[in-house]
Structure 1
Amino acid sequence: MIQRSTGSPSNIREWFAFYIKPRHEKKAAARLEEQFKIYCPLKEERIRWSDRWKTVVKPLVPGYIFANVTEPEWLHLLQDPSVFRTVCFKGKPAIIREREMEAMKKVLGETDCEDIRLEPLNKGDRVEITGGSFQNVNGVVVTIKGNRASLRLDSLNCAMTFTVSAAILELV
Structure 2
Amino acid sequence: MQSTMLSRERKWYAVYTKPRWEKKSDNILLQKGIESWCPVQKVERQWSDRKKIIEVPLFRSYVFVRINEMERIAVLDTDGIINFIHYLGKPAIIRDEEIEIIKQYLLMPGTTIQVTGIQALKEKTRVKIKGGVFMDNEGEVLRTGKKKVYVQLDTLGQVLVVEFPIEYLLPI
**Aligning the two structures, in what range does the TM-score lie when normalised by the shorter sequence?**
0.5 to 0.7
How has the CA–CA distance of structure 1 residues 92 and 118 changed in structure 2, closer, same or farther, with 3 Å as cutoff? farther
**TM-superposition CA deviations, 1:59-92 (whole Å, max 9, x none):** 1222211111111212211111211111111111
Distance in 2 (alpha carbons) for counterparts of 1:58 and 1:106: 17
Q: What secondary structure sits across from 2:99 in the alignment?
A: helix
Gaps of 5+ in 2: 129-138, 145-172
TM, length-normalised to structure 1: 0.66
Change (3 A) 1:128 1:98: closer
Q: How far apart are the structure 2 equivalents of 1:19 and 1:127? A: 27
TM-score normalised by L of structure 2: 0.66
Q: Based on CA coordinates, which of the two structures has the bigger radius of gyration?
A: 1
- Give 4+ residue runs of structure 1 displaced > 6 Å after superposition: none
Match of 2:11 among 11, 14, 17: 14
Higher helix share: 2
User: Where does 1:1-172 land on structure 2 (aligned, <5 Å)?
Assistant: 7=3, 9-34=6-31, 35-117=33-115, 119-121=117-119, 125-131=121-127, 167-171=139-143
1:39 positional shift = 1.2
Q: CA RMSD in A?
A: 2.5
**Percentage identity across aligned positions?**
28
Contact kept in structure 2, 1:61 and 1:115, CA below 8 Å: no
Change (3 A) 1:104 1:52: closer
**Matched residues, number:** 132
Where does the alignment leave 5 or more consecutive residues of structure 1 unmatched? 1-5, 133-166
Distance in 1, matches of 2:115 and 2:10, equals 25
